[in-house]
Amino acid sequence: MGRDQQIRLLPPELQNQIAAGEVVERPSSVLKELVENALDAGATRIRIQIRDGGQSCIKVSDNGTGIAADQLELAVTRHATSKLESLHDLQEIRSFGFRGEALPSIASVSRFRMSSSREDGDGSVLEVLHGRILGQDRTAMPRGTEVEVNDLFSNVPARLKFLKQPATETRKCAELVTRIALANPHVDFELLNGERSVHRFLSGQDPAQRLAAIWPREVVEALHEVSYEDGLFRVTGLVGDPAMAQARPDRILIYVNTRPVQDKIILSAIREAYRGRILGKEYPQAVIFLQLPPDEVDVNVHPAKTEVRFQDESSIFRSVRRAVLQSLERSFRRPDVGDQTLPLAIGQVHAALPTMEARLPDPSQIQVEQKWAAPYEQPWPQKFASSTTAQKLFETPDNSSFPSGSESGPVESPFAAPTLQYLGQFARTYLILAAENEITLIDQHAAHERVLFNMLRAQGLRGERRPLLLPLEMPLHPAQSSRAQEIWTELDGLGFSLELAPGPRLLLNSIPALLTPSKAREFLEDILTDKAVSMENLWAVMACKAAIKAGDALTGDEALALVDSWQRLPEKNYCPHGRPVALHWGVSELEKMFKRRS
């Protein structure tokens, strides 16, 4: 506040410098504004050069429409824009820019020079220093615009201090250029760091080709296309193989009407689609382009325009989730032994060979195909669950469309391979199955876990109880006791009848039918120590506790019953934690591995 307490209008340079605080955070944000201006001007070729991480120089030249000589000064005047005329336009933005404040902001914190020409040969150049116009001159140049930003923040030492090492700023600039290039495949981009070329994206490349410049090859090669349309919304892009999931969310790129944005709704829709395919702490790779009518989205939420607001958030969530899910279901029906995973798969076989003890099928197993024919008549082995739960296994809603078996010949379910032959158990952990054209290894624990999880999910909070004649007692920490109270209803729904006694102690009067008393106790121990508990989580932990383990020997009947209920599940290829349940090798893959064929 001035000492005389007078209210006055700030001089324009100061207004712009204040606005610059929001729009221009670092060199890459300058670059973003300049490149977006070039795209708005219809450029098909954009050349970018930076020096010292962009701090000493950022230069962007384009072959767009150019700016007329008498408009150059306006371009660096606040709230001057060619992209918006009325409030109505503001509700239907089709350009990247519209606020008319990027150039004046940038010019107020740098040594700024802009040359432009609307016709080959005849151009003008304008120079600005820290917001003050120094002058304008004529210059000969081809049609287009070139903006040069030198000594960024030289008059704002506070900002200068916040800049990272030049190498870091350079990386941010390179990422930004790639992000924009992904959404504009028809435009030729070139990024130079000093004289060295960092990226060259030729026009006509598709997003996957451009991604190959920044993501590892095996990740890019395992991407699958998303293509989905739903009324007003169109969702396209690429999604990664669940098997390639990673610990950080840094390979999820979201675009709304070709604008790179950060968006929680789309991000959570993507993660939701992957749920059950990857671990809770993992992130997939995804590039999602959402196209929707401009009046369905407000892009004027943030000065840097990196956030948007949707009219209909829940429809957006649903469309994106469906789009991704559809692609995942189409492309990753199972952990594929495609080119990418083959070396690993071969490695696993090699590692297994010395101890390979797959038994030859014994007579009871040779009848397998016969048994396959009548799945409903198979007794559910006692080992898996109580008889009533076993009954349910065959009646989960997931299987409701399963056709009933005929007397002869194999039964075909919508999900199952028509004739699977059970060959035996290997390492007391894997079940070996042969179909006509491929051989499959199933992880018995993961498969059973998946079967039980789906069953638990289907029964929700109508869990069956197993009353205990003598109540079990469990000492609790105070923290566990308050956790128990928080999820009391859910525990009750799962089949627990509990009482809290002083101590604190927990009395278990009944437990879920699926669990033995000792597993019920283990389950509670785990669940009450866990911080983030969701219903999915409870089912997953319970399925894990109740499932047969690696190392459990199975009889032929038991193995068959398991394979049978497993193979009819829609999400059969991943366990609830997202690990693969089955590995497959096709005849042609085996031929390759044995070098019968190249």
Residues whose CB falls within 8 Å of the CB of residue 141, separated by 6 or more in sequence, listed in order: 115, 116, 117, 121, 123
Q: Does 16 bind Mg ion (CB under 5 A)?
A: no
Select from 36-44, 275-283, 351-359, 362-370 the region that touches Mg ion (CB under 5 A). Answer: 36-44
Structure tokens at 422: 């059970």
Nearer to Mg ion, 97 or 335 (CB): 97
Interface residue with Mg ion among 16, 28, 37, 327 (CB under 5 A) is: 37
* Residue (116 or 285) nearer to ligand ADP, CB: 116
Residue found by looking up tokens 């958030």 in the block? 313
CA distances from 347 to 342, 344, 582, 596 (A): 8, 5, 16, 18
163 binds Mg ion, rule: CB under 5 A: no
Distances (CA, A) of 370 to 365, 414, 436: 10, 19, 16
Residue 163 interface partner, choices ligand ADP, Mg ion, none, CB cut-off 5-8 Å depending on type = none
**Three-state DSSP class for residue 260:** strand
Q: Could you tell me the smallest distance in angstroms from the CB atom of residue 107 to ligand ADP?
A: 9
For residue 478, the surrounding DSSP H or E stretch is helix 478-486
Report the residue number, 97 or 495, with the smaller CB distance to ligand ADP.
97
Q: Which is nearer to ligand ADP, 66 or 237 (CB)?
A: 66
DSSP secondary structure of 30-98: HHHHHHHHHHHTT-SEEEEEEEGGGTSEEEEEE-S----GGGHHHHTSTT--SS--SHHHHTS--SS--
- Catalog residues that contact ligand ADP under the rule CB under 6 A: 33, 37-38, 41, 62, 64-67, 75, 81-83, 97-103, 145
Q: Give backbone dihedrals phi and psi of 270, rounded to 5 degrees, phi first.
A: -65, -45
The DSSP annotation for 102-114 comes to HHHHHHHTSEEEE
What does 67 bind: Mg ion, ligand ADP, none (CB cut-off 5 to 8 Å by kind)? Answer: ligand ADP
Burial of 20 by CB count in 10 Å (0-12 exposed, 13-18 middle, 19+ buried)? buried
Stretch that binds Mg ion, among 30-38, 269-277, 418-426, 549-557 (CB under 5 A): 30-38
Residue 62's binding partner, choosing from ligand ADP, Mg ion, none, with beta-carbon cut-off 5 to 8 A by kind? ligand ADP
Of all residues in this chain, which one has the CB nearest to Mg ion in the complex?
97
Site mask, Mg ion, residues 92-131, x = CB under 5 A? -----x----x-----------------------------
Residues that bind Mg ion (rule: CB under 5 A) add up to a total of 3
Q: How far is the CB of 333 from ligand ADP (least distance, A)?
A: 46
Strands 122-129 and 132-139 turn out to be antiparallel
Q: Which of 177, 187, 180 is nearest to 43 (CA)?
A: 187
> Residue 454: which of ligand ADP, Mg ion, none does it interact with, CB under 5 to 8 A by kind?
none
Q: Which two tokens stand for residue 174?
A: 């390179």
Measured from the CB atom, the residue of 75 and 513 that comes closer to ligand ADP is 75
Q: Which helix (DSSP H) or strand (DSSP E) does residue 138 occupy?
A: strand 132-139
Q: For residues 493, 497, 499 and 500, what is the CA-based torsion angle, rounded to 10 degrees?
A: -40
CB of 110 to ligand ADP, least distance (A): 14
Pick the closer one to Mg ion by CB: 76 or 541. Answer: 76
97/123 with CB nearer Mg ion: 97
* Cβ proximity to ligand ADP, 77 vs 340, nearer residue: 77
Report the interface residues with Mg ion, using CB under 5 A. Answer: 37, 97, 102
